[in-house]
A and B are shown apart, each in its own frame.
Chain A
Amino acid sequence: MSRSTGSWLEARTGYRAGLRHLLDEPLPPGVNWWFTLGSVLLFLLALQFITGVVLTVYYAPTPDHAYDSLRFILAQVSLGRLLRGLHAFGASFIVVAAVAHMLRVFAFGAYKAPREMTWVAGSLLLAVILAFALTGYLLPWDQRAYWATVVTINIVRSTPLAGEWLAATARGGTEVGALTLTRWYAAHVVLLPAALAGLVVLHLYLMRRHGVAGPTVPREGEPRAFYPFHAIKDTIASAAVFAALVGMAAFVEAPLDAPADPTDARYLPRPEWYFLGLFQLLKYSPGPFEPVATVILPALLLIALVLLPFIDRAPERRPGARRAILGVGVAVVVVVAALTALGLRDLPPRRDPRAWTPRAVGGRLLAERANCASCHREGGSATALAELRLARDPDWIAAHAQDPETIAPGSRPPPRDALITPDRAKGVVSYLRRLQMGAAPAPRLSPEDELAVYVYAANCAQCHALDGEGEEVGPELSRVGREKNAEALRTWITDPAEIDPDADMPAFGEKLTAEELTAIVNYLVRRK
């Protein structure tokens, strides 16, 4: 800015005085690195705002498109994977920074008069940050997002008195769906940012009004200006956190599950790590006491947090004179940390979404036999398989595979037969997901095993799971070889009624060729 423009602006706005007021804030001696946590948090929130805005440019908040729009961000948008990693891991960084900042203020007794309202605004900010985290992870509309939200809304419903009403408000429609997604999206990108901005401004205003509390025992010496003597510490601390976050976003892949499937009752939803303590507490609460763990205890904790400066009113700030309240604080931290650690230990092992399951391998064979790639290839008349959108429901895929003409008449030859049924379409999607996530090529199988997994994906997966994929109408088959020998398996598959007249399973004797029957029996009998 040229000198004359600067003078003109100064004359009209007085910005120099404002800037000087901001930067020359006198800080008491002894303000050290512990006092950078608030600035780091503010920096992370600003960064989260920027990455959030860019994500909003590409994200579509509808169940039909949310998942595919996120995959689009990951696969097509330049640096999209890094951007999403920054936002996803940024949330965790913010929770850590917020708690660290709060514990520092607690330990230093900085919430005491006259700074009670600064603390209250800060406690509300923590609640807003957690609400951000909660609404944020519904947005990808993957399995984890969907089921975690179903659980969250059921927790809300356990609130005494107002439960049903609160749950209906959180849900929008009668079930978790499109109305829930737009609602949470509106909260995440409009309502909560507005609340956050207002509370941050209030918090900073109050911080300046009363000044930084400084060390618990005031030190001798002259106050020093915030800029540049403390600002350099804030800048270095923020830069270090930024470097760690960028490194994490670059080298660790933020999780994305399969598309949300409301019919999949087998999925084990697990919350983000910062809600794991609450989740663990829930496990220890017997039925009638559930609302205690889900609503009452967390609400009491938040209320106690807000009221802390009004409960602990003695002006003394030295830790030695505050043993009781510090003891309570340490106890709360230990309990929350222990519950979180227990929750982490109880986490089911994460399945690598790129690992091939029999259903996925069989799905690949189904896609080959159905000639999908005759149109769905690079330069073909339709989008290549590796880039197809995935959020279609199985019925649509089956209808499309049986009659591509309805999608684009004249552009495709009719299929040879109705190979792809809705049940089989799920296997094809399972294969496509691995293809699109850049999984290693499917494992090579012997011709007989290849036929077996094909038979499995085409006929069995709609009722039986293998290696974690497949429906659960009938028993899991991963260890079926321990219970049944080849002869029993063959008889059972050919005609279950021969063994158990009440069997629900249909007979496959006439649906499978002799070769197919032998292949699937030999494959299953080895599953031990």
Chain B
Amino acid sequence: MDRRRFLASLINAIGGAIGAATAFIAGAALLSARFARRRETWVPAARLTDLDEDVPVTATLRVVRDDGYRQVVDREVVFLFREEKGGARVLGSTCTHLGCRVSWDAEHQRFNCPCHGGRFDKNGIVVAGPPPEPLATLTAKVDGDRVHVQL
């Protein structure tokens, strides 16, 4: 290999190493996913004695969530039922079709979605309209009289 070609490949090698190191540092920082985790928290939602087996109690839960370098309060509306066995059953209020907020229709004993006519029964099962899946069931635990919901 002549001197000229040798020097050219040396320049490429060193330049490549500097470029790779810089790209690694910048790339790691840009693609960083460590803060993408979402912590699950238990939020107290209602008293067990207030719950009913057939009519949901609507609760607006507020949960503090990290939003990068700041914290925001998320509001989540959930429906709580008492279970026969004594526990609590909690349904999310987000329609599984396109994400609208469903509400309880006391007259027809069902959840209505205002957007595209989705209907769910009190167990969250789709009874009419376009939703592909039942309403989400959230994990709940009963601590004394308090029902806590995991968000």
Contacts and interface: CB of A to CB of B under 8 A. Distances in A.
A69 B68 contact: yes
A232 B10 contact: yes
Contacts of B137: none
Interface string A162-195: 0000000000000000000000000000000000
A410 B62 contact: yes
A379 B70 CA distance: 18
Interface residues of B, number: 37
A68 interface: yes
Given A54-B30, A76-B34, A79-B28, A246 B21 contact: yes
A518 interface: no
Nearest to A240: B14
A383 B71 CA distance: 8
Interface in B25-71: 25-26, 28-35, 39, 41-45, 61-64, 66, 68-71
Nearest to A229: B7
Given A76-B34, A235-B15, A407-B64, A83 B69 contact: no
Given A65-B70, A232-B11, A379-B39, A77 B62 contact: no
B122 to A, nearest CB: 24
B18 A54 contact: no
B25 A86 contact: yes
Contact of A77 (B32, B43, B61): B32
A227 B8 contact: yes
A409 B7 contact: no
A239 interface: yes
B34 to A, nearest CB: 6
B41 A380 contact: yes
A68 B64 contact: no
A228 B13 CA distance: 13
A240 to B, nearest CB: 10
Contacts of A381: 41-43, 63-64
A235 B13 CA distance: 10
B7 A232 contact: yes
Contact of B64 (A78, A239, A408): A408
A73 B34 CA distance: 11
A59 to B, nearest CB: 9
Nearest to B9: A228
Given A54-B30, A76-B35, A410-B62, A82 B25 contact: yes
B14 A83 contact: no
A500 B17 CA distance: 72
Contacts, number: 110
B62 A79 contact: no
Interface core residue of A68, A228, A238, A242 (most chain B CB under 10 Å): A228
Nearest to B31: A78
A353 interface: no
Contacts of A82: 25
A47 interface: yes
B42 A72 contact: no
A239 B20 CA distance: 12
Nearest to B23: A50
Interface string A46-89: 01001101100110100001001101110011111011001000
Given A232-B11, A407-B64, A69 B28 contact: no
Nearest to A234: B11
A115 interface: no
Nearest to A43: B18
A229 B64 CA distance: 61
A386 to B, nearest CB: 13
Interface of B: 4, 7-8, 10-11, 14-15, 17-18, 21-22, 25-26, 28-35, 39, 41-45, 61-64, 66, 68-71, 73
Given A228-B8, A229-B4, A382-B64, 9 more contacts: A50-B26, A57-B30, A65-B69, A78-B33, A236-B14, A238-B18, A381-B42, A408-B64, A411-B43
Interface of A: 47, 50-51, 53-54, 57-58, 60, 65, 68-69, 71-73, 76-80, 82-83, 86, 227-229, 231-232, 235-236, 238-239, 242, 246, 379-383, 387, 389, 407-411
